[in-house]
């Protein structure tokens, strides 16, 4: 199975901050990676697919990059609506696996 490791687990930031989350795969997944945002009591929402493609309707302050085993999600200027938990997920092969999540909280 492909293991996905996210860092950090928790991130404290302020409005306007640039925020970066990292995801590492235990083996190459090419660009078969998605990023999700999840708020309490809600379903995950896809932000990014194929490692760097912004889902329709997602604000442009979100961006992502990477391929192979190293990936990053960046929020260029953190907004109040962005406080949430973020997950990476590989769909290169079954079993699909998720990172453990990064909670972005207010500093």
Partner 1 sequence: EVQLLESGGGLVQPGGSLRLSCAASTFNFRTYAMSWVRQAPGKGLEWVSSIRGSRDPTYYADSVKGRFTISRDNSKNTLYLQMNSLRAEDTAVYYCAATNYDFWSGPGDWGQGTLVSVSS
- Residue among 44 and 68 whose Cβ is closer to partner 1: 44
**Rg of the chain on CA atoms, in Å:** 13
Among 11-19, 58-66, 72-80, 88-96, the segment contacting partner 1 (CB under 8 A): 88-96
3-state secondary structure string, 45-72? Answer: EEEEECCCEECCCCCCCEEEEEECCEEE
CB of 80 to partner 1, least distance (A): 23
Cα distance from N-terminal residue to C-terminal residue, the chain: 36
Residues 18-57 that bind partner 1 (CB under 8 A): 32, 34, 36, 38, 42-46, 49-50, 53, 55
Q: How many CB atoms within 10 Å of residue 69? A: 17
CB of 77 to partner 1, least distance (A): 26
Contacts of residue 43, defined as CB under 8 A and 6 or more positions apart, other chains included, come to none
Task: Catalog residues that contact partner 1 under the rule CB under 8 A.
Answer: 32, 34, 36, 38, 42-46, 49-50, 53, 55, 87, 89, 91, 94-101
């Amino acid at each position: 199975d492909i293991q996905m490791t996210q860092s950090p687990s928790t991130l404290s930031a302020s409005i306007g901050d640039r925020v970066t989350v990292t995801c590492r795969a235990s083996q190459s997944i090419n660009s078969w990676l998605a990023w999700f945002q999840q708020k309490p009591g809600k379903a995950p929402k896809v932000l990014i697919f194929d490692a760097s493609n912004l889902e329709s309707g997602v604000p442009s302050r979100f961006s992502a990059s990477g391929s192979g085993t190293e990936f990053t999600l960046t929020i260029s200027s953190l907004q109040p609506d962005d406080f949430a938990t973020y997950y990476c997920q590989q769909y290169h092969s079954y079993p699909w696996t998720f990172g453990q999540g990064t909670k972005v909280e207010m500093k």
